Amino acid sequence: MSFETSLLNEIPDVVSPEDRARLLGTKNLSPMECVKLLEEMLETYSDSHPYFLVQLAENLILIGPGMIAVELYRKVTSVQFIFRPVTGTAIEQAQRALANMNVFDSELDKKVMKYHEIFERSTRQTLAASEKSTYTQVWTPTREHRFPITFPLLSPEAHEIKQNWEESDVGKDALFTAYLRKLTIDTSQVESVFRLTDESVLDLVQNGISEGRIETSEDSDMHDTEVIRRILRDTLSAYHLLTPLINHPDTLTPTIICEIHARVMNTCRYTGKQYTPPGRTRAETQKTVVVMGAYTIQCCPFTEVDKELEYICRMAKQWIRTWRNPIATASWVHLIFSNCYPFDDGNGRVARLVASIPLLRHGFPPIAIAFHQTTDYYDALRKARAGDHDALINSIKEGMREGIKYAKEAIATPPTSSSKEGSEERASQ
């Protein structure tokens, strides 16, 4: 559908010849590729024209989430709505641009009303149907999940893990770097984002994410090595966001969690069948989620997500600050975050990252779940939902123990290829 005003139909004059050629070639691109290009254009020409916002909405309609597309339409229409900005000042400036030019487009208004009605009805029907379904485990609010107070102190095993981490003879910086590289790989493999060969994992741990060799297994869902490398860089970058939270856990807020999610999903937002809005909660996408598998698990209704996230941050800060057993705190934070499932995708990766704060604060390494632990790990999460944290606490300890062992052995083994030290992979401890 074309619009009445040329401002929404024609590529802005400020666009460079190179970018204009790329935009003219969008007919040969998939909707996901178009979304990626248009988001790049928004970053480059953020204050120039609402054209990009409307074109982005046109493509998001095809790959979801629909309510985000409707919100984009509304940002440039004459119909007056108040919504949270999608890309900060870019949207606000686009909205002001049309208002300042006194532009009205009835076709755009019609499209807003049409798609709002379609997606609003669809999301509400899906939510209503989910509330009538039968689950192995139903969702319960965070306030009903008891903190594991039966684990007030660290076990001798946990003390041994900490000592093994702190008293390494390979150098603390080298150990942390190797450990974090392995963790960065495994946190995506556990979620089946991709699957690398054992030889590739070792090469990446030894030589760094930028220089290491990437080889995927035959059963990997992703084989684009450059996309995988970008995903690994995004994950490493997200862990750097933890640094201020380690010393100041009171700064943990839903906004910070959304920033972490946006960093983790910077590349991954384009890799699924549906687009995942980075840093946008399900309260905004209005997506209903049910975890399927051996067990059917109900997640927090999208209508409650933002309120739950506020409460999770408030209680997490309290337990991180006061509880003496950081592994028990990590288990609880991980559980309640996973139970809420605040985002369309990427929740497990963000949960393990945020739940690492109490561990790092007490001198432990961050949570690392090895790929071969996947089945036991998810079973432990199921048990924790039922109130038994023992298995999840053991899973966290086992992951740390194996991660430290792997990192030390990787450092001691002669590298298979030369590399430069990846200074961007170092993190404050």
For the chain, the domains span 6-131, 142-425
Structure tokens at 15: 């666009």
Binding-site residue ranges for ATP? 345-352, 377-378
Residue 222 region, left (φ>0) first, then alpha (ψ -120 to 50), else beta?
beta
Exposed / middle / buried, residue 304 (Cβ in 10 Å: 0-12, 13-18, 19+): middle
Q: How far is CA 151 from CA 91, 381, 394, in A?
A: 48, 17, 12
Class assignment of domain 6-131? mainly alpha
Q: Do residues 66 and 57 lie in contact, with contact meaning Cβ atoms separated by under 8 Å?
A: no
193/348 Cα distance (integer angstroms) = 12
What are the φ and ψ backbone dihedral angles of 216, each rounded to 5 degrees?
-90, 150
Closest by CA to 369, choosing from 361, 378, 360, 382, is 378
Give the CA angle between residues 370, 375, 376 to the nearest 5°: 80
What are the φ and ψ backbone dihedral angles of 297, each rounded to 5 degrees?
-120, 125
pTM of structure? 0.90
E strand or H helix at 297? strand 297-298
Closest by CA to 335, choosing from 391, 280, 295, 375, is 391
Structure tokens at 290: 């049910």
Average pLDDT for runs of 10 along the chain of length 429: 83 94 95 95 77 91 90 68 36 49 77 89 95 94 96 97 89 94 98 97 97 97 97 97 95 98 97 94 95 90 97 97 97 97 97 98 97 96 95 98 97 70 44
Cβ neighbours of residue 247 under 8 Å, at least 6 residues apart?
A: 361
For residue 1, the model assigns a pLDDT of 54
**Angle, in degrees to the nearest 10, between helices 374-385 and 326-340:** 80
60/69 Cα distance (integer angstroms) = 6
Binding-site residue ranges? 345-352, 377-378
For residue 75, the model assigns a pLDDT of 76
Q: Do residues 88 and 255 lie in contact, with contact meaning Cβ atoms separated by under 8 Å?
A: no
71/46 Cα distance (integer angstroms) = 17
For residue 191, the model assigns a pLDDT of 96
Type of residue numbered 244 = P
DSSP 3-state of 92: helix
For residue 233, the model assigns a pLDDT of 98
- Report the CATH fold assignment for 142-425: Fic-like fold (1.10.3290)
